[in-house]
């Protein structure tokens, strides 16, 4: 599972078109007691993967584990959704963050939640191998472009400013018990290993292969919000959605209508008219075919434009306006069908 989910950080409307990652910062959403405000935890660990140079085509995988703390804790149901690892990029020789990549962690697609049924006193780390995850990873993206930096200068460095964030919403049926969470990421080729997708359970089955071995972040401890009262996970402002083959031209992606890859989606500032960000929809990985995800600089109304590829006709508006909240996202899908 995984997808090329590329987001960029820009200023003055300048498009910065490079996928990558940098330093370590962990933000986890949780409530000490519902319905209070969500809490955040900061982890500044500088000894995870070190300084890594990226190449086009590199796989970047990420994952999390959690456990319920205390040998006397009661049986507990824990649910997690909207889990992402958000990582920054810099060019070698510069401390300025110039790009961001969002790695969605299963089952983020479709807004689903993951449920863990933890027995009383069980302090095991979850997910475990019986949940059919690749060992230690629930998502991956692939580096497509490094044009922002000179050749060989695109750099991950988890010891420099910029931050790598883990965000998620966590709820449970016990608000008095601590939950511990940590995450990691891996770029195998940057470590002189085979360039594989560590989130592919076929390539990296439990107990895991050496090419996918990566150290975990420091952990943070939080308490879940009550079941049915999701915590505020501090999800970055973003616009996402699908371009899809709208065979019946009804403007809705129905069952059996696949996503369409390679459709360029551009986002513009409605005040200045300048380009904020752009990317083509996913064209390689079947699980996310036709998907795009763009990180926005803040809450605002944006103009979203999809370019209709040759040989297709649009079945939905391709030039739309969308409001993006400060803590969350907005979705715009684009229906297309082959021109008769």
pLDDT band at 175 (very low <50, low <70, confident <90, very high): confident
pLDDT band at 122 (very low <50, low <70, confident <90, very high): very high
- Domain positions in the chain: 6-226, 238-338
Instruction: Output 256 or 163, whichever has higher pLDDT.
Output: 256
pLDDT at 275 over 60: yes
The pLDDT of residue 54: 79
Classify domain 238-338 by CATH number.
2.60.40.10
Q: What is the mean pLDDT of residues 133-139?
A: 79
Number of Cβ atoms within 10 Å of the Cβ of 142: 22
From the list 244, 287, 324, the residue with the least C-alpha distance to 141 is: 287
Quick: pLDDT tens for 282-318. 776 665 688 888 888 888 899 999 999 999 999 999 9
Instruction: Output 232 or 179, whichever has higher pLDDT.
Output: 179
What is the rounded distance in angstroms from the CA atom of residue 152 to the CA atom of residue 142?
Answer: 17
Question: DSSP labels for 176-207?
Answer: SS-EEEEEEEE-GGGGTS----TT-TTTS-TT
If phi over 0 gives left and psi between -120 and 50 gives alpha, with beta otherwise, what is residue 152?
left
Q: Which residues contact 140 (CB under 8 A, 6 or more apart)?
A: 1, 2, 59, 60, 61, 62, 103, 197, 198, 199, 200
Quick: pLDDT tens for 94-112. 776 666 666 778 765 445 6
Instruction: Output 202 or 326, whichever has higher pLDDT.
Output: 202
Mean confidence (pLDDT) of the chain: 74
Task: Kindly state the DSSP code that residue 119 receives in the 8-state scheme.
Answer: P
**Distances from the Cα of 72 to the Cα of 123, 181, 300, 322, angstroms:** 10, 19, 47, 49
The pLDDT of residue 30: 23
Q: Are the C-beta atoms of residues 101 and 85 closer than 8 Å to each other?
A: no
Q: Which residues contact 123 (CB under 8 A, 6 or more apart)?
A: 67, 68, 69, 70, 71
**Distances from the Cα of 330 to the Cα of 93, 146, 236, 292, 320, angstroms:** 35, 27, 11, 12, 12
The pLDDT of residue 145: 53
């Amino acid at each position: 599972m995984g997808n090329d989910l590329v987001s960029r950080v820009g200023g003055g409307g300048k498009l910065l078109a490079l996928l990558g990652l940098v330093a370590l910062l962990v933000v986890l959403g949780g409530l000490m007691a519902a319905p209070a405000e969500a809490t955040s935890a900061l982890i500044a660990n500088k000894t995870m993967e070190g300084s890594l140079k990226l190449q086009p085509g590199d796989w970047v995988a990420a994952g999390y584990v959690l456990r319920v703390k205390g040998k006397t804790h009661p049986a507990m149901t824990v649910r997690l959704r909207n889990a992402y690892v958000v990582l920054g990029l810099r060019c070698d020789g510069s401390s300025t963050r110039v790009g961001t990549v969002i790695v969605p962690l299963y089952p983020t697609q479709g807004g689903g939640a993951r449920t863990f049924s933890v027995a009383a006193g069980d302090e095991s780390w979850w997910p475990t191998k019986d949940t059919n995850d690749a060992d230690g990873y629930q998502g991956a993206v692939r580096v497509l472009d490094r044009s922002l930096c000179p050749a060989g200068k695109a750099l991950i460095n988890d010891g420099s400013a910029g931050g790598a964030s883990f965000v998620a919403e966590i709820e449970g049926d016990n608000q008095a018990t601590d939950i511990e969470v940590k995450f990691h990421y891996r770029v195998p080729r940057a470590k002189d290993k085979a360039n594989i997708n560590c989130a592919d359970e076929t390539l990296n089955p439990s107990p895991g292969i050496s090419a996918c071995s990566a150290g975990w972040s420091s952990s943070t401890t939080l308490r879940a919000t009550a079941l049915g009262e999701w915590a505020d996970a501090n999800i970055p402002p973003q616009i996402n959605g699908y371009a899809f083959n709208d065979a019946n031209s009804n403007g809705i992606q129905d069952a059996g209508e696949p996503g369409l890859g390679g459709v360029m989606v551009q986002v513009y500032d409605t005040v200045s008219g300048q380009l904020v960000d752009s990317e083509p929809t996913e064209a390689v990985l079947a699980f996310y075919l036709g998907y795009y995800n763009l990180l926005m600089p803040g809450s605002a109304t944006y103009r979203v434009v999809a370019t209709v590829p040759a040989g297709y006709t649009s079945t939905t508006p391709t030039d739309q306006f969308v409001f993006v909240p400060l803590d969350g996202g907005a979705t715009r899908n684009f229906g297309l069908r082959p021109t008769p």
